[in-house]
Amino acid sequence: MPRAITASKALTPGVIGDLELRNRFIRAGCFEGMSQGGRVTPALIEHHRRVAAGGAAMTTVAYCSVSPDGRAFEHELWMREEIVPGLHDLTEAAHGEGAAASIQLAHCGFFASPQVIGRRPLGASRKLCLYRLSRCEEMSEPEIEAKIDDFVGAARLARKAGFDAVEVHAGHGYLLSQFLSPWTNHRQDRYGGSLENRLRFPATVIRRVRQALGTSFPILVKMNQQDGMRSGLEIDEAIQIAQRFEQEGASMLIPSCGFTAKTPLYMMRGHVPTREMARNQRNPLARLSTLLFGRFLVQTYPFQPLFLLDGALQIRQSVTIPVAYIGGVLSLADMERVMQAGFEFAQVGRAIVCDPDFVNKLQAGDLEASGCDHCNRCIAAMESGGVYCVTYSQGQREVKNPG
């Protein structure tokens, strides 16, 4: 008989601000691909209910743009009053399974899709985006002020919808990250140049969101330890950014890495599913270009467990607020190592996509490690109806239909 695991700190309650979570596992904000028309769908609600039922302490709704001009895809949420009832249904579904719910608030900046938003994208500086084959406009100071208001408004609506926390996305090459990174920020005004200037916009967002939500509401901030390319952000500046985010009111930091429009697999590692990504492109030209050039545009980075631990440790040691580890957690042993290193929580993506019952099975002693093989075909699945584990689903079909 499997033996229940009770001694692990990873399976004990933890606290962020005024929020108590039942364990230390948070489902990371992995894009679901289930928000067709920018709306909350039954599939999105069921996806997060299933994660909550599987034992995660908190599930994160991914990549909700704070305004319509910040979207990368048509099937991506953008926050407005119209979707609050649907989001409330989602948070109620998670709460009904004993989990909390967070929502990731973001803006794509220079890699927003011109076809989706109907205009040229906005960015820290004018820059060609090879990912979109488009050039963005440099944001004016009034546009920066308007985006700060958009983040604040989105956070207020998230709380109204019943979310227990918000996650401000200042990493992965999204708009706030574009201001922080020397690779995308070439401005000559008070928002560019020195790190203090590059911090001005993201720091103001966090400060204003904190003022809007009060002193104890959990505000998580996802940030980069490294961008992963020459002239990008490095760990020395990331440490200073983490300290500033703490000063401005962040409740917890999540030090990730990578730049979606330049080094997308740096944040995940493993195989690049070029054929599957090409097959799921609706535009024939995009399908052909992905098939022919995808392997040159998307670099391959080998996977190893806890691949971001060293940099995350440096950030954890530089701040006093909780830090959640992210990057290659696939087993209870990984979680034990993370807890022993002083992290309060871990965000887990692919292991929970692979098996939504991952946490419950660890707790029951039915599982020691995820079966995720880092094929990353789940990324391609986002474009074909919603994220799921392609390998696990195939295995299930083979068991049900032997021969």
Q: Would you please indicate which residues are annotated as catalytic (active-site) residues?
A: 174
Is the sign of the CA dihedral 65, 248, 91, 16 positive or negative?
Answer: positive
Bridge partners for 101 per DSSP? 59
Q: SS3 sequence, 223-291?
A: EEEECCCCCCCCHHHHHHHHHHHHHHCCCEEEEEECCCCCCHHHHCCECCCHHHHHHCCCCHHHHHHHH
List % helix, strand, coil for the chain (3-state, nearest 5).
45, 15, 40
DSSP β-ladder status, 100-106 and 58-65: parallel
Q: Burial level of 223, CB count in 10 A (0-12/13-18/19+)? A: buried
Query: 9: which DSSP letter?
Result: G
- State the Cα torsion 252-224-156-165 to the nearest 10°: -40
User: What are the start-end ranges of the H helices in 298-331?
Assistant: 309-316
Which of 385, 334, 389 has its CA nearest to residue 362? 334
Q: Burial level of 150, CB count in 10 A (0-12/13-18/19+)? A: buried
DSSP β-ladder status, 165-170 and 58-65: unpaired
Distance CA 50, CA 79 (A): 23
* Token representation of residue 352: 């929970």
Give how far Cα 11 sits from Cα of 26, 336, 344, 371, Å.
Answer: 12, 10, 11, 20
* Token representation of residue 287: 């399908």
Which of 116, 390, 111 has its CA nearest to residue 277? 390
